[in-house]
Structure 1
Amino acid sequence: MIPRVEYEYSSNIPEDATFWMPSEEEIPDDEGIGYFRDVWMILNEPESEVRNIVTEEETLIEILDNLAASPQDYELIAEAIDSQDAETLPAGLLRSEFMQRAESLLQEPDDQPSSLRGLEVGVAGLSYALSMIGAVPVASCRGHIGEHAWSPNPVAFAALDRPRAEWLQPFISETGCGFHISPNREQFLAIEAPSIRDSSRLARLILENFEGRSHLFNRWLDLALIDSIHEASFDGES
Structure 2
Amino acid sequence: MIPHTHIQLDPAFPENAPFWMPAEDEIHEEGVGFFQGVWAIFDVPLSEAAQVVADERAAATAVDAAANDATTFEYFARLIEAHNPDFPSEDPEDEAGMAALAKHGDVDSVTLCHLELGVAGLTYALAAIGCVPAASCRSHAERSWAERPVVVAAIDRVHADWLQPLVESASCGFDLDDLRPQFLTIHARSIKEMMDLAAAILAKAEHDPPPPLCWGPSSNDEQPPEDRVEVDGQQSLFNC
Q: TM-score range by the shorter chain?
A: 0.7 to 0.9
> How far has the Cα of 1:32 moved from its partner?
1.3
Q: Structure 2 vs 1, CA of residues 98 and 10 (structure 1 numbering), >3 Å: closer, same or farther?
A: same
Partners of 1:80 and 1:86 within 8 A in 2? no
Q: 8 Å contact 1:80–1:88 — kept in the other structure?
A: no
Residue in 1 aligned with 2:222? none
User: Which structure 1 segments of 5+ residues have no match?
Assistant: 107-114, 222-238
* Shift, 1:219, TM fit: 3.0
2: CA distance, partners of 1:69 / 1:87: 25
> Aligned-pair distance for 1:99?
4.7
8 A Cα contact 1:2 1:196, kept in partner: yes
From 154, 167, 172, the equivalent of 1:172 is 167
Return the offset for 1:89. Answer: 8.6
What do you get for the CA RMSD once the two structures are aligned? 2.3
2:133 to 119, 134, 137: 137
Regions of 4+ moved over 6 Å: 85-89
Task: Report 1:1-238 matches (<5 A).
Answer: 1-28=1-28, 30-84=29-83, 96-100=99-103, 101=105, 104-105=108-109, 115-146=111-142, 148-211=143-206, 213-214=208-209, 216-221=210-215
Using a 3 Å threshold, how does the CA distance of structure 1 residues 212 and 97 change in structure 2: closer, same or farther? same
Counterparts in 2 of 1:56 and 1:66: CA distance versus 1, 3 Å? same
The answer to whether the 8 A contact 1:80-1:89 is kept is no
1:95-125 deviation line (CA, Å, top 9, x unaligned): 541255455226xxxxxxxx21111111111
Q: 1:42 to 1:95 in 2, by over 3 A?
A: closer
Q: Provide closer, same or farther for how the CA distance between residues 31 and 6 of structure 1 changes in structure 2, counting only shifts above 3 A.
A: same
Offset of residue 152 of structure 1: 2.4
Q: Percent identity?
A: 38
**Structure 2: 5+ residue runs without aligned partners?**
216-240
State the structure with more CA Rg. Answer: 1
Distance in 1 (CA, whole Å) between partners of 2:92 and 2:161 is 42
Q: What is the distance in 1 between the residues matched to 2:164 and 2:207?
A: 20
> What is the aligned partner in structure 1 of residue 229 from structure 2?
none
Residue 15 (structure 1) shift: 1.9
- Greater share of helix: 1
Taking CA–CA contacts closer than 8 Å with sequence separation of 6 or more, which of the two structures ends up with the larger relative contact order? Answer: 2
Is the partner of 1:104 in helix, strand or coil?
A: coil
Per the alignment, in what secondary structure is the counterpart of residue 151 of structure 2?
strand
Q: Deviations over 1:10-64 (max 9, x none)?
A: 1110120121210112112x20125334421111111111111111111011001
| Paired residue secondary structure (2:113) | coil
In structure 1, the residue corresponding to 2:40 is in which secondary structure?
Answer: coil
CA distance in 1, matches of 2:91, 2:135: 24
Where 1:186 maps in the other structure, the secondary structure is: strand
Aligned residue identity for 1:209:
K
| TM-score, normalising length: structure 1 | 0.81
